[in-house]
Amino acid sequence: MTEKEQITVAEAGRRGGKSTLERRGTAFFREIGAKGGKRQKELYSDLLSEFGRRGGRPRHPSLNKPEGEKNQ
């Protein structure tokens, strides 16, 4: 038996993305990107302009204020 090749998480993601691109094509990535944008709009519609002013959605949200939940 041969030992499995050790690869980084980044390399595994790169290989998976490349494989998906070969199987499904660029239209698939456009479609899932549009779905992701639509979902972001649903979740963060009230915060999008603030994210834009700050240069994008925060990667590490504050623990005091849950983001993505509708305030009632």
Sorted by where each begins, the domain ranges of the chain are 25-54
**What gap in Å lies between CA 58 and CA 4, rounded to an integer?**
37
pLDDT for residue 32: 95
Q: Which two tokens stand for residue 69?
A: 């939940």
Which of 33, 37, 6, 3 has the alpha carbon at shortest distance from 20? Answer: 33
Question: pLDDT by residue for the chain (72 residues), tens digit each?
Answer: 567 889 999 999 999 999 999 999 999 999 999 999 899 888 888 887 777 777 776 666 565 665 555 554
pLDDT for residue 16: 96
Maximum C-alpha span of the chain: 59
**What gap in Å lies between CA 26 and CA 65, rounded to an integer?**
37
pLDDT for residue 38: 93
